[in-house]
Amino acid sequence: MGDVALTVPVIRNVLRHNEDLHITLVTNPNFTSFFYDIDRLTVFPADFKREYIGIKGLFKLYRNIKSGNKFDYLIDLHSVLRSWILTFFFSVSGLRFFRINKDRKEKKKLVTGRSLHSLMHSTERYQKAFEKVIEITPLPDTPSIIPSEKALTDVELFIGNEKIPIDKQWIGIAPMAQHELKKWNINNIKKLIELINNQYDVHFFLFGGGEKEKEELERLSSKHSNVINTAGTLKMSEQIALISKMSFMLTMDSGNMHISSLIGVPTVSIWGATHPKAGFAALNQPENFSIQIPKSELICRPCTIYGKGTCKRGDLACLNWINPKSVLQNLQSFDILLGSDQ
């Protein structure tokens, strides 16, 4: 999800500065809301779990995309087996293609400890892929994911139904991540909420997805009258609309981190086994908004690029050494918690 979200500012920028260009984007149907209000962009939803399964499914997808369309170029922004196969089908038909350079060798050096210099951000890699066929201008530091008017209206109804006070600061928390090596313990989130509640008059919104996450977040929200669990209750378009109303978001290294930052909401992120220098930092956010244990204190960081694997130490020190009090202190130093302490 995060990878797809990070294509939005690039695609929007490419189309903005090339008025005769049209793009057809093939992506997961769940992510189409990211691309709302982009002129000359056609989003082609591809469900790889139901409709386009295996080699036969990819060939069917190739035929469906090609049907009635004439393309000049194909750009592979994902560079995985599935996109390689799809690219092969198009290349056989004579279409020229270009592919993102993920620089896997440099990323491997990062996790083996041979290097800790900042790698190119993912958005720059997307830009360079387009640069092979079209003129590219630098990305502006403006919001690129825009909530739809309908979603904003629907969220207003949701907020009204919940009778959430509008005179309090709204804080969004997305405590989940796809992999355990990127996920702060839920008890730390619970403690942080308690610490903030002790000093500030605020309202919290919890964001997540899936039944397991929904149940876990429901248990957390049930203990506080000022905590609303949105997991499983909102469509993606509505989540985008609600996030846009947050004073700030606290996230893991996750898709929600990218969505929030691309909407233009101040986004504070907690990093465990992964590292912002791998090219996946929240776009247009201050560097110190990435809360992490320095490599000088924990030399095994980063041990993974995407969060896959298990902790070789066995104690998840990269996450467990980050405590709720220190996160609160960071939030206070960032001057994004509003109002007087109680």
Q: Sorting pLDDT into bands at 50, 70 and 90, what band is 340?
A: low
Strand positions, DSSP E, the chain: 23-27, 41-45, 73-76, 96-99, 169-174, 202-206, 227-229, 248-252, 267-270, 290-291
Residue 303 sits at the vertex; the CA angle it makes with 299 and 325, to the nearest 5 degrees, is 65
Q: Sorting pLDDT into bands at 50, 70 and 90, what band is 253?
A: very high
Residue 304 CA: distances (Å) to CA of 78, 133, 178, 308? 19, 32, 13, 6
Question: Which among 128-132, 157-161, 335-339 has the top mean pLDDT?
Answer: 128-132
Residue 341: what pLDDT?
56
Residue 311 three-state SS: coil
pTM over 0.85: yes
pLDDT digits (tens, 9 = 90+) for 27-84: 999 999 999 999 999 999 999 999 999 999 999 999 999 998 999 999 999 999 999 9
Residue 290 three-state SS: strand
pLDDT digits (tens, 9 = 90+) for 1-37: 999 999 999 999 999 999 999 999 999 999 999 999 9
The pair phi, psi for residue 329, each rounded to 5°, is -60, -40
Q: Sorting pLDDT into bands at 50, 70 and 90, what band is 117?
A: confident
Average pLDDT over residues 105-114: 86
Same topology between domain 2-131 and domain 149-328? yes
The dihedral over CA atoms of 326, 332, 337, 339, expressed in degrees to the nearest 10, equals 130
Average pLDDT over residues 103-129: 89
Q: Are 1 and 255 in contact (CB under 8 A)?
A: yes
Q: Concatenated DSSP letters for 248-272?
A: EEEEESSHHHHHHHHHT--EEEE-S
For the structural domain made of 2-131, what CATH number should be given? 3.40.50.2000
pLDDT digits (tens, 9 = 90+) for 132-156: 999 899 999 999 999 999 999 999 8
Q: Which residues are CB-contacts of 145 (< 8 A; sequence separation ≥ 6)?
A: 5, 8, 34, 36, 240, 259, 262, 263
Q: What percent of the chain has pLDDT over 70?
A: 99
- Asked if omega into 175 is within 30° of 0 (cis), the reply is no
pLDDT digits (tens, 9 = 90+) for 306-335: 999 999 999 999 999 999 999 999 999 999
Residue 151: what pLDDT?
96
CA distance 211 to 175: 15
CA distance 64 to 44: 10
For the structural domain made of 149-328, what CATH number should be given? 3.40.50.2000
| Among 286, 295, 289, residue whose Cα is nearest residue 253 | 289
**Would you kindly state where each structural domain of the chain is located, as residue ranges?**
2-131, 149-328
Residue 342 in this model has a pLDDT that exceeds 80: no
Q: What percent of the chain has pLDDT over 90?
A: 85
Type of residue at 108 = K
* 212 vs 17 pLDDT, higher one: 17
Residue 10 sits at the vertex; the CA angle it makes with 8 and 11, to the nearest 5 degrees, is 65
